[in-house]
Amino acid sequence: MPQDPLLAVTPGEPTGIGPDLLVQYVQQPREASLVAVCDPGLLTQRAEQLKLPLAIRLFDPANPVVHHEAGTISVMPVEMEQPARPGALNSANAGYVVKTLEVATKGCVDGLFAALVTGPVHKGIINEAGLPFTGHTELLAELTGGGRPVMMLACPELRVALATTHLPLKDVSAAITRDSLEEVIRILHRDLTNRFGIDRPNILVCGLNPHAGEGGHLGREEIETIEPVLEMLRGEGMTLNGPLPADTLFTPRYLEQADAVLAMYHDQGLPVLKHLGFGHAVNITLGLPIIRTSVDHGTALDLAGTGNAETGSLKAAIESALLLARASKKT
């Protein structure tokens, strides 16, 4: 394996902006050693549509040479079922999207790749193809066969992790148990310490209900579930502040001393994070035996092939993966 960590990159939905972002990103010389796991013809076609130069170099795992020159990319080939037209979803390629993730993840598990960077996928079209898929986070947990995935989005100003991920709102309360919440907090605390090098991380914990339950008048989850778990973990030395009302937690008074926020559900914490950092935020999956980062946005079908997609989040995801991989290599 080369001295610098190899990063696998999956562009995601072939009719979205994922391929555009990758083609645009490699127009400049780069520090990161990238291997795109996808159909090379897709990248060639998209480069032609964007009127950008692109030279494909097929990647050989037995001789893992990676090209860093501007306009050049190393590719581990996975063939699409049908050609992809920008903006026109096609369920025939849903299996291809999943296959790229399987190949890239296996490369991480086997030690070929030091980290995985994922582009945006379209959950709906994968489900329409009859494939059970709720998101990258859940699939990667299944593929790696280990760990409890915890979703965290990060930008320079804020890190937000989630106690639950892609659930209907009506199912959130039942999914937050003492055992599950304890597990999530332990993973968040461990990875902030071990992967991010934060000594004694300070974690803010949201309540589930408005006003954090208002002493039980607006719900008892804080009293019966959240507070007992926090009290137990504080007894082990963790710095946990909460449960706090989510409508006032995301203010400078609290955030200036915080290393991360734990939100109880997807739309409780992520709108604030994306308001602060959209376009340069990174989705990081904690709790897995591999390093995985991702862009913070969707497929943006209307922008595919137009040249108007912004590469900021992909650049941030690659840089974060490289930093985490280098830190992991040292330990």
Q: Residue ranges for the binding site?
A: 136-137, 166, 211, 266, 274, 283, 292
Residue the block writes with tokens 């950008």 = 52
Strands (E), 45-114: 55-58, 72-77
Strands 158-162 and 260-263: parallel
Spatial distance between the Cα atoms of 82 and 67, rounded to a whole number of angstroms: 28
Spatial distance between the Cα atoms of 221 and 233, rounded to a whole number of angstroms: 17
**Tokens at residue 150, please?**
């915890």
Spatial distance between the Cα atoms of 236 and 241, rounded to a whole number of angstroms: 14
Spatial distance between the Cα atoms of 35 and 9, rounded to a whole number of angstroms: 6
Binding-site annotation, residues for substrate: 136-137, 274, 283, 292
Is-contact 28 36, C-beta < 8 A?
A: no
Binding-site annotation, residues for a divalent metal cation: 166, 211, 266
Helix axes 227-234, 178-194, angle to 10 degrees: 40
